[in-house]
């Protein structure tokens, strides 16, 4: 049984809101200089400018996800950031890459649902 377009729209918006909250919180922690974030970026070795840059990228991605016209861009933006996060966890720092993988998969789901022409085919409202 297929989901109605209204149910599908609500699921996509729910995932977008979840991603925006997660990315907004992570980005804000980086921009605020939370000690754990400072330590992680010291370990990465690119300098604290990279922490600030990453935090800004995450906050911008969160905003893009919440704006109806830029949801696809936001999902791709944040998804690309999560690819970098997974690679960093695997090759540079210790820790599980699973949270970044889950967020990346959720971004892929949103991007797939918002791809050009999808709204017309599925009858999903743009807002």
Q: Is residue 127 part of a domain?
A: no
Looking at the structure of the chain, the number of domains it has is: 1
- Distance, in Å, from the CA atom of 30 to the CA atom of 12, rounded to the nearest integer, reads 27
- Distance, in Å, from the CA atom of 78 to the CA atom of 18, rounded to the nearest integer, reads 12
CA 16 to chain centroid, in Å, comes to 9
pLDDT at residue 124 is higher than 70: no
**Mean pLDDT value of segment 80-103:** 92
Sign of the dihedral defined by the CA atoms of residues 68, 6, 118, 12, in that order: positive
Query: Chain-wide mean pLDDT for the chain?
Result: 89
Classify 93 as helix, strand or coil: coil
The pLDDT value recorded for residue 100 is 94
- Tell me which of 10-14, 91-95, 118-122 is least confident: 118-122
Which tokens go with 118? Answer: 């999808």
Q: Is residue 124 part of a domain?
A: no
Q: Is residue 76 part of a domain?
A: yes
Q: Is residue 62 part of a domain?
A: yes
Q: What is the pTM of this model?
A: 0.85
Domain that residue 105 falls in: 5-117
pLDDT at residue 121 is higher than 80: no
Q: Is residue 83 part of a domain?
A: yes
pLDDT at residue 126 is higher than 60: no
């Amino acid at each position: 049984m297929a989901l109605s377009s209204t149910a599908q729209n609500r699921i996509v918006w729910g995932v977008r809101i979840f991603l925006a909250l997660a990315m907004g919180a992570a980005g804000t922690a980086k921009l605020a200089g939370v000690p754990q974030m400072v330590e992680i970026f010291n370990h990465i070795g690119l300098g604290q400018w990279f922490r600030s840059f990453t935090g800004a990228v995450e906050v911008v991605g969160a905003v893009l996800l919440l704006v109806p016209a830029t949801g696809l861009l936001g999902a791709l933006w944040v998804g690309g950031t999560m690819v970098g996060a997974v690679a960093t966890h695997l090759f540079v720092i210790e820790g599980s890459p699973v949270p970044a993988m889950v967020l990346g998969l959720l971004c892929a789901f949103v991007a797939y649902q918002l791809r050009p022409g999808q709204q017309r085919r599925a009858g999903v409202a743009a807002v």
